[in-house]
Chains A and B, each alone.
Chain A
Amino acid sequence: MFVRIWALFMARNKEFVRDRSSLGWSLLFPFLVIAGFSLMFSGRVTQTYTVGMVGDPAKLGVDRAQVLERFENTRFVDTVAFENRDDAIARLGRHSLDMVFDRGNFEYWVSDSSPGSYIVEKMLLAAERREHKSLRRNTVQGREIPYVEWLFPGILGMNMMFSGLFGVGYVVVHYRKNGVLKRLSASPMKAWEYLLSQVLSRVVIMFSTTAIVYAGCVLLYRFPCRGSYLLLVLVFLLGSFSMISLGLLVAARLSSEELAGGLLNLISWPMMFLSGVWFSLEGSKPWVQSVSNIFPLTHLIESARLVMNEGAGFHDIRIRLLIMLIMSLVFLAAGSLMFEWKKQ
């Protein structure tokens, strides 16, 4: 009995060690996750407060400028510049910011319902040192969007990402490896016809599953959609299209399922962490935010959040929609040009 157990134990160990992709993934992945998080959060303290700064401080008098400088130098307070005051105040209302400070007019806004606002206001008043430099106080009726409501578009986007990348990319590689594609290549079917049929099929599948999940969650948890459903449909359609065409690009020539799986994981996991699925990247280092913008998932999730959580209109998200469309067309064109029916 022990001999049999030992024999299979050793055989399984050998299989695992010789499966390079599983071995690499088991060892490398945790390191990559820790490395990624430490890069993203290096120098950031867990608890900080974020103040949106608007306006031009040039015309402030010396005393007021000193108050402002003391406040800005307060530890654990991060400042983020905004061009548009209304945009910043809207974020304050959602508790994405703890305070908005107008440097030109020396006034500030806080949210009555935000604990962060309460604390930051105390810090501001401490910096003022009760010198009564005519700081004007404004309040905003805020409602913090519950985390799970904020998370919901991210989860939908993540689901679409996995479906688009693995549901199309991996399957194409598998069919190339086992000869199904070769069989099709010996027919009058053209590569672009095959690719289009796969894209359309997956768009319908992804859209249907997303719609079912969406409807189910709305029924169960009453997540609101503050914007237009039609616009949301457009966001999800373009998002699907961009994920699928990325999957097709990765799968254009590969015939090794191991390699395809590894590459797709290498793309999807960083994309998941850097596209704002689980946590907001506001306040991250600028380079992190720049990297985030190269991922189609970032634009999908951000557009969906703006529509669902903030009631944004077409004008507010038009750039992101355009980016998703351009990415989709570029990925699809490149994938079609590189497409091979046969194993290389």
Chain B
Amino acid sequence: MTHPQEKTPILEIRQLVKTFGSFTAVSGVSFSISEGICYGLLGPNGAGKTTTIEMIEGLLAPDSGEILYKGKKRDSRFYEEVGIQFQNTELPHQLTVGETLATFRSLYRRKRSMDDLIALCHLDDILHKDNRKISGGQKQRLLLAMAIANDPDLVFLDEPTTGLDPQARRHLWDIVFQLKSRGKTLVLTTHYMEEAQFLCDRIAIMDNGRIIAEDTPAGLLNDHVKGTSLILPGPVHPDKLKDFPFPWFPVRENSVEIQTMDIQRCLQELLLRQIDLTGVTVRPQNLEDLFLKLTGHALRE
């Protein structure tokens, strides 16, 4: 029996499949998104995140599966009510930031006010600048403004902060928070763990075209990675870790990461085996550790 307060999810994806020749990019992905949350697709490059998103956005035809928007198949209403920020997009040449935004905004029946878009995305200083002369961070803010120009109910953000410096990334996160506070539903793809953890209410972790875990950030951490991570800067001879009682993984630059629920015993074991602990890092586990545990390879290679 349906709970009286259960609303239809704004987006429902059922068993999406997409292959390119013999390569399966997306293999039976399913999830559903409630209104008003920020939903993250987290995974390394090549996991199938962008392919999944582009099928939902209507840019790629799925080989099989179903996509429901507000409980129904997508129609022309979908394109009026969603906003999309692509991963890698150029802008029209010879137009200014303001002209680009105004032109794009005029494609929709429902429009958010220009003043609101400019204020929200901090475009005042660059409105009269040529598109070719803005920085990466400024371009991402313009693309985000274009993505919300029609005051959409559902916004897709595909790797919105890739290539941005930390300050530009924080600026963009602030804008995303403001969108969330206005009740918008956001779908965010990223390969930055901290971005997913910081922004998203629910996260689906993808690898090799499949969702391997899905929950709130806290739920994912609690279920899979409640312990501690030790990172040994290395190099560590594999013989020294033979029959080590805790799982360990080689990671970037000869380092080794050990995941443990019992830090005391782990340290004792390392000392017994006379492993050099100079430069060791000890921290609580995070989503990158979860990914490592589930897949055996790092989120960012």
User: Within 8 Å CB of B214, what residues of A?
Assistant: none
- The proximity string for B residues 86-106 relative to A, scoring 1 for CB distances below 8 Å and 0 otherwise, is 101111100000000000100
A182 near B91 (CB under 8 angstroms)? no
User: Within 8 Å CB of A175, what residues of B?
Assistant: 90, 92
Interface residues on B, range: 10 to 19
Task: Known A187-B79, A188-B80; judge A182-B86 contact (CB<8 A).
Answer: yes
B-side interface mostly: loop
8 Å CB interface, B68-120 against A: 76, 79-80, 84, 86, 88-92, 104, 107-109
User: Within 8 Å CB of B57, what residues of A?
Assistant: 186
Name B89's contact: one of A182, A187, A188, A189 (CB within 8 Å): A182
A115 at interface by CB-CB < 8 Å: no
Total contacts A-B at CB 8 Å: 40
Task: Known A175-B92, A182-B59; judge A188-B107 contact (CB<8 A).
Answer: yes
B9 at interface by CB-CB < 8 Å: no
Task: Known A182-B59, A342-B59; judge A187-B108 contact (CB<8 A).
Answer: yes
Question: In the complex, how many residues of chain A place their beta carbon closer than 8 angstroms to a beta carbon of chain B?
Answer: 13
8 Å CB interface, A156-187 against B: 175, 178-180, 182-187
User: Within 8 Å CB of B90, what residues of A?
Assistant: 175, 178-180
Task: Identify the closest chain B residue to A187 (Cβ).
Answer: B107
A179 near B59 (CB under 8 angstroms)? no
B107 near A183 (CB under 8 angstroms)? no
B245 at interface by CB-CB < 8 Å: no
User: Within 8 Å CB of B79, what residues of A?
Assistant: 186-188
User: Within 8 Å CB of A342, what residues of B?
Assistant: 59
User: Within 8 Å CB of B59, what residues of A?
Assistant: 182, 185-186, 342
Residue contacts A-B, CB under 8 angstroms, 25 given: A175-B90, A178-B89, A179-B88, A179-B89, A179-B90, A180-B89, A180-B90, A182-B86, A182-B89, A183-B86, A183-B89, A183-B104, A183-B146, A184-B107, A186-B79, A186-B84, A187-B107, A187-B108, A188-B76, A188-B79, A188-B107, A188-B108, A188-B109, A189-B107, A342-B59
Q: What is the interface of chain B, defined by CB distance below 8 A to chain A?
A: 57-59, 76, 79-80, 84, 86, 88-92, 104, 107-109, 146
Question: What are the 4 closest A-B residue pairs judged by CB atoms, nearest first?
Answer: A178-B90, A179-B89, A187-B107, A186-B84
